[in-house]
Amino acid sequence: MEEKLIIDASRLDPEGEDVTGEVAAVDLDEEFVKPFGGVRYRLRAQLFGNELLVRGHLEQDFTLVCSRCGRDFDDTVHVDDFTMSCTVAENSSEVDLTEDVRESIILALPSYPVCAEACPGISQKVEIPRDDRWNALDGLSVGEKKTKEERSSKEKRKNG
Ligand SMILES: [Zn+2]
Tell me: pLDDT of 153 over 50: no
Q: 16: CA distance to ligand 1 center in Å?
A: 43
Q: 28: CA distance to ligand 1 center in Å?
A: 22
Tell me: pLDDT of 160 over 90: no
Give the mean pLDDT of 131-142.
65
Q: 114: CA distance to ligand 1 center in Å?
A: 5
Q: 27: CA distance to ligand 1 center in Å?
A: 24
Report DSSP state, residue 129. P
> For a pLDDT cut of 90, what percent of the chain falls above it?
62
Tell me: pLDDT of 158 over 60: no
Give the mean pLDDT of 57-75.
95
Residue 124 exposed, middle or buried by CB count within 10 Å (0-12, 13-18, 19+): exposed
Q: What is the model's pLDDT at position 88? A: 92
| Of 98 and 155, more confident | 98
Report DSSP state, residue 10. G
Mean pLDDT of the chain: 84
Instruction: Give the start-end residues of each E strand in 49-99.
Output: 51-65, 72-87, 94-96
Give CA–CA dist 51/85, Å, rounded. Answer: 7
Give CA–CA dist 141/123, Å, rounded. Answer: 38
Tell me: pLDDT of 130 over 80: no
What pLDDT, in 10s, does the model give residues 6-51?
A: 999 999 999 999 999 999 987 777 888 899 899 999 999 999 999 9
Tell me: pLDDT of 143 over 60: no
> For a pLDDT cut of 70, what percent of the chain falls above it?
77
Lowest mean pLDDT segment, chosen from 16-25, 111-120, 134-143: 134-143
Give the Å distances, CA to CA, from 78 to 7, 86, 91, 104: 21, 23, 34, 9
User: Residue 38: what residue type?
Assistant: G
Q: 71: CA distance to ligand 1 center in Å?
A: 6
Q: 118: CA distance to ligand 1 center in Å?
A: 8
Q: Which residues pair with 2 in a beta bridge?
A: 23
